[in-house]
Amino acid sequence: MTESARQTLLTIEGLTKAYPGVVANDDVSFAIGEGEVHALLGENGAGKSTLVKMIYGLVRPDAGRMVLRGAPFAPPQPSAARAAGVAMVFQHFSLFEALSVAENVALGMEQAPKQRELAARIAQVSEDYGLPLDPYRLVGDLSAGERQRVEIIRCLLQDPKLLIMDEPTSVLTPQEVAILFDTLRKLAAEGTAILYISHKLEEIRALCDAATILRRGKVVATCNPREQTARELAEMMVGATLATPSRAEATPGAAVLEIGGLTVTPANPFGTALRDITLTLRAGEVMGIGGVAGNGQDELLAALSGETRTEPGAIRLKGKPIGDAGPNARRALGLLCAPEERLGHAAAPDMTLIENATLTATIRKGLVSGGFVRWPAARRFAEEVIATFDVRTPGPEVAARALSGGNLQKFVIGREVMQSPEVLVVNQPTWGVDAAAAAAIRQAILDLAAQGAAVIVISQDLDEIMEVADSFAALNAGRLSAPVATQGLTLERIGLMLGGAHGMHEADLDEAHRHSHPEGAA
């Protein structure tokens, strides 16, 4: 649909929402046209989540109004928003793993039809929009990309006029992203408007027709993202020049962490078994481990952190077997970890930032004396993390759940980095984090390595891995490929490794690459 032919679908005028100590949205106004893919951009804590929650009926605005298709729009709850034609796909999936696709979809419907009829509708919609999905498969057996399809199809069955998508590509492979974009373009061509939130600015440039940029709760710019570079968009978001992470050349030192034949059976029936994981990590080295979500990342981090115990000799830290040691013992020796799930795993939601600082830093920061927490010292450490990592919060007494996802991520990573680990293992370090904060976190990782620490970065963001890592290994179905140097590594070779080219060394990868790209082929 051309811009000149578009009719306004949703108008937002002066929306304001304040919470104790912070104005989340301050007189926000913009419009979305029918068939328009409209980006909502802003750094962490800029007010994006609060704004879409007001559109979807999860939050009531303090002031301002909305107009949907010419009529006043003030949904008191999500069911009213859905009835008016507004649907939302959340960043965190709300699916039951033990139920089938059709059963999960039925749970999200006001009046679900019979299972056979619903399964037929799911199959038809999934075929129409290029999102192949078997309605009878268990959700626990689906990949992250397939789970997202369930959420999208659940929305499409409502025939939405406005589809809100929050960080939709954070757990998808490049191939799954391409499928998703084809679907969104088809929806837009049919007249559905899409409000799209993402920190991946090149995706915004490729997909979106317009962008509204928030900074500290206010609209600071609107633009056509195709006419801006990713750096220009990022600098509009933060209101400052964006720093590019840099690192001085260094030669890795002695082996610090050695894993040999690590095999782990998952506690979760839908988890992934680790099979014969072997790697050596050296002082000053950053190793990137890539893989599609659900291939053993969580299980690997649990085995390294000590949450899952293994044979003593399967993991060695500076030559000492630690496979049977718990998390605190490993922390005392210098091995620290930051898991992917920040709220509930890395941080206790209802505890303050001071209390969350003590959860992992008691040993290395000396926050306990005689069995009692040294609260002044804990407060100072929390304040130091907040200041150093620019965590946007009214203060250290705030509960972890009150922070935006990106700001909590900065706190969690900062809490570990500032304990001066000898080995740091992080899973998805910049997941859901804006461009400026991502650059700061990556710089902190590089600075830590420059000081001699060894770092493992587990990430689905290949650009991130290529930016910070010296070596790369792929995790697929619980197996780890042989590491290769990132210098000169191409996306084609990464694709081979992600696809399960286990144990391949440089020469093997070159041979496989030749077979996949024969002479004269495109």
Cα distances from 90 to residues 21, 44, 58, 479, in angstroms, run 26, 16, 12, 30
Is residue 128 located within the same domain as residue 261? no
Angle between helices 144-156 and 174-189 (to 10 degrees): 10
> DSSP string of 117-186?
HHHHHHHHHHHHTT----TTSBGGGS-HHHHHHHHHHHHHTT--SEEEEESTTTT--HHHHHHHHHHHHH
Q: What is the pLDDT of residue 56?
A: 95
Q: What is the pLDDT of residues 129-150, one digit of tens each?
A: 888 889 999 988 887 778 888 9
Interstrand relation of 335-338 and 368-369 (parallel, antiparallel or unpaired): unpaired
Give the best-scoring range by mean pLDDT among 40-44, 202-206, 240-244, 416-420. 416-420
Residue 440 counted as domain residue: no
Q: What is the pLDDT of residues 71-124, one digit of tens each?
A: 999 999 999 999 999 999 887 677 888 999 999 999 878 788 898 999 999 999
Domain end position, chosen among 420, 444, 466: 420
Q: What is the pLDDT of residue 504?
A: 45
Q: Would the pLDDT of 447 be above 90?
A: yes
pTM of the full structure: 0.72
Is residue 299 located within the same domain as residue 366? no
Q: What is the pLDDT of residue 22?
A: 84
Is residue 365 located within the same domain as residue 486? no
Q: What is the pLDDT of residue 368?
A: 93
Is residue 53 located within the same domain as residue 145? yes
* Tokens 């800029």 belong to residue: 46
How far apart, in whole angstroms, are the C-alpha atoms of residue 92 and residue 405?
A: 11
Average pLDDT score over the chain: 88
Q: What is the pLDDT of residue 219?
A: 96
Q: Would the pLDDT of 501 be above 90?
A: no
Residue 427 counted as domain residue: yes
Q: Which residue, among 461, 485, 490, has the nearest Cα to 473 in the 3D structure? A: 485
The sheet carrying 162-166 orders its strands as: 86-89, 162-166, 193-197, 37-42, 210-215, 218-223
Q: What is the pLDDT of residues 424-435, one digit of tens each?
A: 999 999 887 877
Domain end position, chosen among 238, 268, 296: 238
Q: Would the pLDDT of 403 be above 80?
A: yes
How far apart, in whole angstroms, are the C-alpha atoms of residue 326 and residue 308?
A: 8
Considering only residues 63 and 5, tell me which one the structure prediction assigns the higher pLDDT. 63
Tokens encoding 184: 């969104």
Q: What is the pLDDT of residue 520?
A: 40
Is residue 52 located within the same domain as residue 145? yes
Cα distances from 514 to residues 53, 274, 453, 498, 520, in angstroms, run 50, 30, 37, 17, 11
Is residue 25 located within the same domain as residue 101? yes
Measure the CA angle with vertex 147, ends 141 and 149; round to 5°: 130
Is residue 95 located within the same domain as residue 153? yes
- Please answer whether residues 310 and 260 qualify as being in contact, where contact means their C-beta atoms are separated by less than 8 angstroms: no
Q: What is the pLDDT of residue 341?
A: 85
Q: What is the pLDDT of residues 480-489, one digit of tens each?
A: 999 999 988 8
Residue 448 counted as domain residue: no
How far apart, in whole angstroms, are the C-alpha atoms of residue 48 and residue 394?
A: 18
With H, G, I as helix, E, B as strand and everything else as coil, classify residue 3: helix
Q: What is the pLDDT of residue 506?
A: 47
Q: What is the pLDDT of residue 82?
A: 92
| Mean pLDDT in residue range 316-340 | 96
Is residue 115 located within the same domain as residue 51? yes
Considering only residues 502 and 429, tell me which one the structure prediction assigns the higher pLDDT. 429
Q: What is the pLDDT of residues 217-260, one digit of tens each?
A: 999 999 999 999 988 998 898 887 777 777 767 788 999 999 99
Is residue 327 located within the same domain as residue 231? no
Burial bucket for residue 484 (CB in 10 Å: 0-12, 13-18, 19+)? buried
Residue 385 domain boundaries: 343-420
Residue 439 counted as domain residue: no
Cα distances from 489 to residues 325, 458, 463, 500, 522, in angstroms, run 36, 17, 12, 17, 19
| Mean pLDDT in residue range 260-278 | 90
Q: What is the CATH number of the domain that holds 36?
A: 3.40.50.300
Residue 247 counted as domain residue: no
Q: Would the pLDDT of 505 be above 60?
A: no
Q: Would the pLDDT of 40 be above 80?
A: yes
Q: What is the pLDDT of residue 2?
A: 52
**How many structural domains comprise the chain?**
3
Is residue 125 located within the same domain as residue 259? no
Residue 59 counted as domain residue: yes
Q: What is the pLDDT of residues 157-179, one digit of tens each?
A: 988 999 999 888 776 767 778 88
How far apart, in whole angstroms, are the C-alpha atoms of residue 130 and residue 133?
A: 9
How far apart, in whole angstroms, are the C-alpha atoms of residue 117 and residue 402?
A: 42
Residue 354 counted as domain residue: yes
Residue 437 counted as domain residue: no
Other beta carbons within 10 angstroms of residue 498's beta carbon come to: 21
Q: What is the pLDDT of residue 19?
A: 87
Is residue 55 located within the same domain as residue 92? yes
Domain end position, chosen among 377, 401, 420: 420
For residue 456, name the pLDDT band (cuts at 50, 70, 90). Answer: very high
Measure the CA angle with vertex 241, ends 239 and 245; round to 5°: 130
Q: What is the pLDDT of residue 515?
A: 47
Q: DSSP class of residue 505?
A: -
Q: What is the pLDDT of residue 509?
A: 45
Is residue 13 located within the same domain as residue 110? yes
Q: What is the pLDDT of residue 171?
A: 67
Cα distances from 212 to residues 52, 155, 274, 370, in angstroms, run 13, 24, 44, 54
349-372 burial code (b ≥16 CB/10 A, e <16): eeebbbbbbbebbbebbebeeeee
Q: What percent of the chain stands above pLDDT 70?
A: 93
